[in-house]
Structure 1
Amino acid sequence: MKLQQLRPLLLAALAATALGSALAVHAGEAEIRKNLGRIPQFAKIDEVTKAPLPGLYEVRVNGFDIFYTDEQGNYLLQGSLFDLKERRNLTEERVAKLSEVAFDKLPTKDAIKMVRGNGKRRLAVFADPNCGYCKQFERDLMKIDNVTIQLFLYPVLGPDSVTKSRNIWCAKDKAKVWDDWMQRGVMPANAECDTAALTRNREFGQKYNITGTPTLIFADGTRTPGAIPAAQVEKQLSAVN
C-alpha cells in the first residue's frame, strides 16, 4: 500500500487514540469526583486534571487549594509535588500560576492612585490601615520612584479597619490622608461618602484568595504576599515593566 493510501488510515487511528484518551480522562474525573465525595467535609471540587507524575491527578478546591489522588480517587494526598531532577516545587508553581491576576483587569476605579516620578512602572497593593506590616511596607515603598501605585483599601482586620478605610476613602485627598496615617500616625478625620468600593475590594479579594495584607500584584500578574523589602520590589518592578 502506498504512503498516500496509508495517510488517511494513520490520521483516523491517531484521532481514535486521542478520542479514547479524552474519554478515559473524562471517565477518570467522574470516578474521582464520585469517590472523593465520600469524604463529607471535603470541599466542592473546582477542577480535576492530570498531574505531572503519571498515574496522579491534581484536585483543585476553594480556588487555590491543591490535592493529589490516584485515577480512581481512592487515595488522597496533601502536600507539595517536587521535580527533584529540575529542583522545582511543582505545586508551588501551580498555585502561583493560579493566583495570577491580570493587571489590566484590576478594578482601579476602586483604588487610590499614587504616581511617583514618571509613573511608568505599575504596582497594585491591597492593604489594611491597621496592618503593622503594611505600615512597614509603606515606609519602604517611599524609596521606590517612577511608579504608579494602585492602592486598594482592604479592611479585613476588624470594624476599626472598616472605619479608618471609610475615612481615608471619603477624604478629599485620599493619598495624603493614607500617607499621613500609615507613616506619621495622623488619625484620619471622620468622613462620609459612598463606600461601595470598599465592599467590592473585599469581594474581589475573596474571589482571588487574597488572605493577608499587604498583598502586591505586579504588571505581569504575579502576586507577592507580605512586606517585602524595597530592593525586592525594585527588582520585580524592573523585571516586568
Structure 2
Amino acid sequence: MKRIMFAVLGAISLSACAQAPQAAAAKTDPVKPAAAAAAEAPKGAAPKVAAGSADARAVDAIRTLSPNINIDKVGAAPMPGFREALAQGQVVYVSDDGRYLFLPGSGGALFDTQAKRNLSEDTLAGMRKDLVKSIPVSERIVFSPPNPKHTVAVFTDVECGYCRKLHSEIAEYNRQGIAVEYLAFPRAGIGSEDYKKMVSVWCAADRRKALTEAKSDHGVAAKECKNTIEQQYNIGQRAGLTGTPMILNSEGVQLGGYVPPAQLRQALDKLAAESKTAAKPTAAVATPVGGL
C-alpha cells in the first residue's frame, strides 16, 4: 500500500512532547505539514562531496526526505554497502545507491527514499492494527458522529495535557466526520493514582461522561470492577507508545500525538485516497509523492 510518509525531518529535528501542550504552542508546531515546514526554511548546510559519488547520493537521499536539514558529515559506514552521515546531531545510514536510509535512534526507522515509504512503519502498522483488534469494541470509549468518514483509535490518559486538549475538541473531530475510540494508557503505570482514575472511568455507568469529567478536573467517583485497563496499557506498550495521546487510523498507521481536527481529517483523507490508488491493479506510479 502506498503510504503517506512523514518526512525524516520529523524523526530527526522535531521532538513534539505529547505530554505538554504548552510546549507545542511555543516555537515549533509538531503537526505542521512537512512540505510547509520545508518551504519556510532555507536549505540546510552539507559537506562538499564529489558529484556522482556514494557520498553525494547519501546527501541527495537525505535531502529528498528533508530538504532543509543540516548535514555535518558524510563518509564510509562501519558496515559495507552504506554511507554514514551526521545530520542534526543524529547518525543516519544510507545505502551506497542512495535508496535506503536508516535512522538508528530511538525506535529506529528504515526508509525507501524512492518510494517515499517508511518500511519500518509499514511493518509496525500491521502489528498495531492486530493489537488494537484484540481490545473488544465494548471496552473502548467511543465518541462518534452518526455516519463517520474515518475512525481512529486513540490511546489516552486522563492527566496529560495533550490528551485533555484533544478531548476538549472532541465535538469538532466529530464534525470533521472522525469517530474517536479511546483506549486506556495510564502513563504513571499500573497501580498508580492515574491508573485508579482510569479504572473509575471504565467502571462508571456512563463512561463517556466520566472520561470528560476526569479530563476536566471535575473528579470522578472512585469505583472498582472487572476491567481491561491493564490489558490496554500492555497493548499500548507493545504498539510502541512513547507518549500520550497516540492516534492510529484503522490500518494501524500512527498519525502523531495531538493533531488538530481539520489537519487530522486532511491526513486521514490523504491516506484513504492513497490506499484506493494503490489498490488499483493498473495504477503505475513511477515516483510516488509522499509527505503531509
The verdict on how the C-alpha distance between 1:85 and 1:230 changes in structure 2, with shifts beyond 3 A counting, is farther
Equivalent residue runs for 1:17-36 within 5 Å: none
CA distance in 2, matches of 1:126, 1:83: 35
Which has the larger displacement, 184-193 or 165-174? 184-193
**Residue 128 of structure 1: how far off its partner (Å):** 0.9
CA distance in 1, matches of 2:98, 2:267: 23
Question: After the TM superposition, which parts of structure 1 deviate over 3 Å for at least 4 consecutive aligned residues?
Answer: 81-92, 101-105
2:91 is the counterpart of 1:79: yes
SS in 2 for 1:152: strand
Contact 2:173 2:179 in 1 (8 A): no
The two structures have a TM-score, normalised by structure 1, of 0.60
Indicate the residue corresponding to 1:153 in structure 2.
184
**Paired residue type of 1:150:** E
Equivalent residue runs for 1:88-237 within 5 Å: 91=103, 92=109, 93-101=118-126, 103=129, 106=132, 107-109=134-136, 110-145=139-174, 146-158=177-189, 159-182=192-215, 184-195=216-227, 197-237=228-268
**Paired residue type of 1:97:** D
**Residue 228 of structure 1: how far off its partner (Å):** 1.8
Indicate the residue corresponding to 1:13 in structure 2.
none
Higher relative contact order (CA 8 A, sep 6+): 2
The percent identity for this pair of structures is 22
Contact 1:215 1:225 in 2 (8 A): yes
The two structures have a TM-score, normalised by structure 2, of 0.50
**Residue 221 of structure 1: how far off its partner (Å):** 2.0
The verdict on how the C-alpha distance between 1:104 and 1:185 changes in structure 2, with shifts beyond 3 A counting, is same
Report the aligned-residue RMSD. Answer: 3.3
Question: Unaligned 5+ residue runs, structure 1?
Answer: 1-52, 54-67
The verdict on how the C-alpha distance between 1:174 and 1:84 changes in structure 2, with shifts beyond 3 A counting, is farther
Question: Unaligned 5+ residue runs, structure 2?
Answer: 1-53, 55-76, 104-108, 110-117, 273-292
**Paired residue type of 1:176:** K
Contact 2:155 2:245 in 1 (8 A): yes
Indicate the residue corresponding to 1:32 in structure 2.
none
Pick the structure with greater CA Rg: 1
Q: 1:153-173: CA deviations, max 9, x gaps?
A: 111225111011011000011
